[in-house]
Amino acid sequence: MHVDPLIVEKKPEERAGLVSSPFQTQAISSPSVTVEQLFESTGNCCEGRGLNVLLYGAVGTGKSTVVRKLVLDWCSGTTLTHFKLLVPFSCEDLSQLSKVASLRDMVGRKYLHLTKHPLLSGEGDQAKNVLFLFNGMEKMNLDFRIGSSELCSDPNEALPPGVVVVNLLRKYLLPEASILVTTRLSALDRIPQKYVSRYAQIFGFNDPDRQRAYFTSRLLQQSGETAPYQEAQALVELLYLNLQRESQLAAACFLPSYCWLTCATLHFLHFTDAKAPIRTLTGIYTSFLRLNFGGEVLGTGTGTNVPIQEQQSSLMLYVVRTVGKLAFDGVAYKRTSFSEKELEQWIGGKTKTDEELRQLAMFQTDVLDFFLVPCVESGKHLPKELSESDERQYVFSVPEMQEYLAALYVVLGENKSALEKLTGQVSVAIGQASEDVGALFNILSKFIPLRIFAVFNLIKLFPKLYEKISTYNKGSIARTMAAELFRTEDSNNEDVLDQVEQTLLGVHGPQPKQYSEGKPFELYPIFMGGLLHYGNRVLLQQLGCTIQSTTVAQITRALRKYLVRELSKPQPPEELMDLLVLLYEFQNPRLTAEVIATIRAIPLSNIRMTPLKCFILSSVLSCTPASYHLERLDLSSCLLTNDMLQILWPAFRHTRNLNLQFNSLGPDSCIILRDLLRNPKSAIRSLQLCDNPLQDSGVRTLLEALPENQSLTHLSLMHTGLGDQAALELAGKLQQHTGLQELNVAYNNIRDNAALALVDACREHPSIHTLHLYLNPLSDVGKKSLYVRGVPKSQDGSGRKVRVLASVTEGSDISEDWHPILRVIRENASSWDRQRVKQQLKIFLRDLEWGRQQQQSLWKRLHFRRVEKGVRKTLQMLEKDAPYTG
């Protein structure tokens, strides 16, 4: 899978022309060229010498990918076939070599089968069939001065790797060989112009069509099966619509690296299932930075005699201390855009020495545009005073990157106060000294006056004082995570995974309600938790950003306390979903189990569940011990599907009261629920399946579990399409389950005979005390018979009394259960058939009027009037289409 980026050949005098905005590349008139075209012979090159091609571009434009694709195509014989030997080298690897070696030895060490290859012998013009690839030349400190790099023409002469590469480029060593070098923009002039035959700049994906081609090949290739394939096609279309708007996403996807990040995030959001390897959003972003900055260093430039390893520092750590600091300030003050003056202040404001100025220039040339781009969505999330000014505003390429870098800045401890930093430095220095002279103090204490000795002891205790300050600082990080996760002003926003999806695909239709001012930063605390996971810490350590295990332990201990404190308060479903995401990103089973143990209910009603969210819920609950049981799991109106139910199986096993109403689950879903109820470890006591089209076939499947299940006490099949035949089968199987206490089959298609059979079966059942039958097509005679059947036949104990809820009246009296009947109708009327419900309410009014006329007592008439008022109010609510307010 590969989409060619835009590569434009440059004249030597044009090579310094950089593109400042992604959309300016659309004005480039020069045609795109391929790497193969760059090695076509030109009349300007010297006869008998190979070409030196320099391919340069910013971080993330796709230089390394082009090189890998070139190697694969050459191996398959589809490009550069006139070269008989292609030798790729990583300049990062070469920079780490400390011993001298000849060219042939360097090739033989990396590629054993090429040891002593005749084409590299230097004899005749055999080297014209050889192409050398040097990827990432900026990682080598090449010096073309004669005094620093001696001349060499013998491929068997042992020299430092940098000197060998310089002589290849000088054409002193194997002059007939061709060379392709890739490098970053800041290192463009490290190779003198006279040694470069052709310059070519790589611009990435400069138009939406290239971006769409990448998204199509990547997403459709990974989807595989038919259903995911169709979903992937829909995602590509939504992405393309968002790109055509010249959105901020289009500016980011100008770099192929961000196209990779977009596809990886969408695949995580839409194609996660129980069979896939565990991925986290934090892990995706950490891998993204590892791919782009792994081994990247911020060098001091050329012309120094200091060894290359000593003069370079981690580029990622420099990013955290500059761009991360800017990101943290934006999160702290709810800002996503920054002016040019602010960029200068935060990123280069404290630069003083010449060395720091050189590093800053390299950083601004190579890396800054990777993270910050001009804002193309003017006025969005901008403070009023800024949006009205003419000064250009800059934003992070993708909004989530700001939250990730801010989280990394905090977790690495870069936001310490000056006192904390000074305390830490002094503590380390004194701690090391105290180890060396500790024994000496013990001897001198016998001769030194008491007051002086007290000063020495105070110095020795200084590291312990710092440890206390450090522990307090880690506690403040945990407190920040909990506070940011449960911010009151963000509590009504959509859950964080939906926000990430909207960033990528845009919002189609009505804009979601935004309750907080500015952009909510709800990923920020989740990234903080995810960065503490061991796998992410290993990747960050490779980038030069170390998070100590002691730091993780301190933050984890404090975080548990703060999360439990926040969970003691009622939280909306969106906030609970964000908590589950945080615990999943953390990947710490012990912490997860301790936090979940304090939760008795997880209400997630009206959350748009996806396979990923279901997987997160199951993963989190799977961390708890087998003895833990959730009292209530509310998944009503969550758009669940059969596949999601399968993913949720581990979560259901820990649940006692399961609410699955309003999910459009069909008969096939009952197979999963049947197997769940049959499972001996199932602890489900209440199962609510209201408003799901289960039909008779689905209910029959569900009934197969009754003989083997011993935990179920409440079963609700209201408005599930249940007919007479399935109702009769239900009546016949009730005796096989002795624990059931309440059965709800209201608002179905059950008529008199089937209803009477159910009442008889419930009366003979040892434990059922309530049966719901209202809103079924029952005749007046049938309703009267139901109440008569609900009363025991005799006083000798044969049969039991069963509450039968069929209408608001019982003959000429008011039913004791009129109030719960009306409450259920009001709560669910918005999703039910309005005409059918209105018809039933009018029947209730008719029965009430007839019953009131039969009463002689004034008090009873007033009671009838009160119930009539409630029914009329419900009827008016339906006619006005007003929501139920409780």
Residue 463 pLDDT greater than 80, yes or no: no
Instruction: Tokens for 804, please give them.
Output: 């039968």
Residue 185 pLDDT greater than 50, yes or no: yes
Count of all residues that appear for the chain in the document? 886
Instruction: Tokens for 148, please give them.
Output: 């620093």
Q: Give CA 215 to chain center in angstroms.
A: 18
Lowest mean pLDDT among 314-328, 741-755, 787-801, 838-852: 787-801
pLDDT class for 517, splitting at 50, 70, 90? Answer: low
- CA dihedral of residues 683, 685, 691, 697 (deg, nearest 10): 70
Would you say 139 and 89 are in contact if contact means Cβ atoms under 8 Å apart?
no
Nearest to 535 by CA among 273, 272, 284: 284
DSSP string, 202-249: EEE--SHHHHHHHHHHHHHHHH-SHHHHHHHHHHHHHHHHHHHTT-HH
Would you say 682 and 648 are in contact if contact means Cβ atoms under 8 Å apart?
no
Instruction: Tokens for 389, please give them.
Output: 């000014």
pLDDT class for 534, splitting at 50, 70, 90? Answer: very high
Nearest to 815 by CA among 828, 824, 806, 825: 806
More confident residue, 548 or 177: 177
CA pair distance 802, 781, nearest whole angstrom: 19
Residue type, 364: Q
More confident residue, 96 or 671: 671
For 73-122, how does the pLDDT look when each residue is reduced to its tens digit (9 = 90+)? 999 999 999 999 999 999 988 988 889 999 999 999 999 998 889 999 88
Surface-to-core class of residue 89, CB atoms within 10 Å of its CB (0-12 exposed, 13-18 middle, 19+ buried): buried
pLDDT at 471: 54
CA pair distance 266, 524, nearest whole angstrom: 19
In this structure, which long-range contacts are made by residues 150-157, counting pairs with CB atoms below 8 Å and at least 24 apart in sequence? 153/122, 154/102, 154/122, 155/102, 155/103, 155/104, 155/120, 155/121, 155/122, 156/102, 156/103, 156/104, 157/102
Residue 302 pLDDT greater than 50, yes or no: no
For 306-339, how does the pLDDT look when each residue is reduced to its tens digit (9 = 90+)? 444 444 578 889 899 999 999 999 998 889 999 8
Would you say 809 and 843 are in contact if contact means Cβ atoms under 8 Å apart?
no
Average pLDDT over residues 158-180: 93
Would you say 687 and 660 are in contact if contact means Cβ atoms under 8 Å apart?
yes
CA pair distance 645, 702, nearest whole angstrom: 15
Would you say 159 and 137 are in contact if contact means Cβ atoms under 8 Å apart?
no
Percentages helix, strand, coil for the chain (3-state, rounded to 5) are 55, 10, 35
What is the H or E stretch that residue 630 is in?
A: strand 630-634
> What pTM value is reported for the model?
0.82
* Region of residue 378 (phi > 0: left; psi between -120 and 50: alpha; otherwise: beta): beta
